Amino acid sequence: MRMLNGKTAIVTGANSGMGMATSAALADMGAVVIMLCRNEKRGKEALNQLMEKAERKLDLMLCDLGDLSSVNTFADMFRAKYERLDILVNNAGFISLDRQITKDGFERQFGVNHLGHFLLTLKLADLIPCGGRIVNVSSGAHKTGKIHFGDINLTKGFNVIKAYSQSKLANVLFTRELAIRMKKRGIAVNCCHPGAVATNIGISRDTGFGKTVTGMLKPFFQTPEQGARTAIFLASDNDVGRITGEYFYKCRIARSSSRSKDMELARRLFEFSEELVEYKSSLSRP
């Protein structure tokens, strides 16, 4: 582990579960941590809880990753306030049994877990200096995933496994493609599977549906602090700076699906995502 004094970090989905644990850990290493949250009330509650350690430097900023105009506004506000971004942890995640859509009309799991983070990352990429880190929190669920280019919003035959695994495969493919495009700049881009972790994932924020099942599973799952270890490691460990484009589990490079290593697929998804979010990146393939 290294000290992160003078570094600026963004953690998405910072008000709950592993995002909150990651924010606390990076702040305890000395980084200024921008907690990207979509809901002001939940964001403030988390901020107040983390500020119980007064020496932490935390800043709450609002952004809904399921609304591309909100992502664009956040990027502009961040640029107005901060000159650089050393660490970006794309942690926020959403899973749902029923098919929901984002403000822009995308299936919500793909829209939030992949497209929101895709646009956020590209819009801030030029602020990341040599030695910077990008960490994408994926999942072992990517292994059953396919990218359904012909029906990316899963209008036919939607099910939660198909939707969540598509979004998490997109996280790994984005990691690998971005790593190639950012390698010359000395930025390490990696992703991870946290394992099974007792968080609020899958619990409806409106109705609380899912709370009972999650509560029952809690004793068998890791705590958010344990689950966040690999993301924290990728964001802060000195040696990781030399590794890019990899998929980690338990702080080690792990096996990912063969589809997640298909670099033609990764390029295709990157270009397809640029069209969907209507933003052409200046990061080209070498």
Ligand X SMILES: NC(=O)c1ccc[n+]([C@@H]2O[C@H](COP(=O)([O-])OP(=O)(O)OC[C@H]3O[C@@H](n4cnc5c(N)ncnc54)[C@H](OP(=O)(O)O)[C@@H]3O)[C@@H](O)[C@H]2O)c1
* Beta bridge partners of residue 248, listed in sequence order: 192, 253
Quote the CA–CA distance of 274 and 122 in Å, as a whole number: 9
CB atoms within 10 A of CB 35: 26
Q: How many residues does the chain have?
A: 286
- Give least dist CB 236 to ligand X, A: 18
Beta-carbon contacts of residue 28 (< 8 Å; ≥ 6 apart): 53, 56
- Give least dist CB 98 to ligand X, A: 15
Q: Which stretch binds ligand X (CB under 6 A): 60-68, 149-157, 236-244, 266-274?
A: 60-68
Closer CB to ligand X, 24 or 112, in the complex: 112
Quote the CA–CA distance of 275 and 281 in Å, as a whole number: 10
247 is a site residue for ligand X (CB under 6 A): no
Site string for ligand X, 188-227 (x = CB under 6 A): -----xx-xx-xxx---x----------------------
Beta-carbon contacts of residue 156 (< 8 Å; ≥ 6 apart): none
- Give least dist CB 18 to ligand X, A: 4
Closer CB to ligand X, 31 or 65, in the complex: 65
Among the listed residues 15, 23, 190, 273, the single contact to ligand X using CB under 6 A: 15
- In degrees and rounded to multiples of 5, residue 13 shows phi and psi of 65, 45
Among the listed residues 8, 23, 121, 139, the single contact to ligand X using CB under 6 A: 139
- Give least dist CB 196 to ligand X, A: 5
Q: Do 28 and 2 touch, CB atoms closer than 8 A?
A: no
Q: What is the DSSP code string of 155-180?
A: -SS--HHHHHHHHHHHHHHHHHHHHH
Catalytic annotation present for 279: no
Among the listed residues 16, 165, 236, 244, the single contact to ligand X using CB under 6 A: 16
Quote the CA–CA distance of 250 and 228 in Å, as a whole number: 10
Q: Which stretch binds ligand X (CB under 6 A): 17-25, 50-58, 119-127, 268-276?
A: 17-25
Q: Do 218 and 14 touch, CB atoms closer than 8 A?
A: no
Q: Which of 20, 17, 25, 52 is nearest to 35 (CA)?
A: 20
61 is a site residue for ligand X (CB under 6 A): no
- Give least dist CB 201 to ligand X, A: 4
114 is a site residue for ligand X (CB under 6 A): no
Among the listed residues 7, 9, 10, 19, the single contact to ligand X using CB under 6 A: 19
Q: Which stretch binds ligand X (CB under 6 A): 24-32, 59-67, 120-128, 180-188?
A: 59-67
17 is a site residue for ligand X (CB under 6 A): yes
The CA–CA distances, whole Å, from 30 to 21, 171, 183, 214, 279 equal 15, 28, 26, 33, 33
Q: Which stretch binds ligand X (CB under 6 A): 11-19, 79-87, 179-187, 207-215?
A: 11-19
Beta-carbon contacts of residue 159 (< 8 Å; ≥ 6 apart): none
Closer CB to ligand X, 146 or 280, in the complex: 146
Q: Which residues bind ligand X (CB under 6 A)?
A: 12-13, 15-19, 38-39, 42, 64-66, 91-94, 112, 137, 139, 193-194, 196-197, 199-201, 205
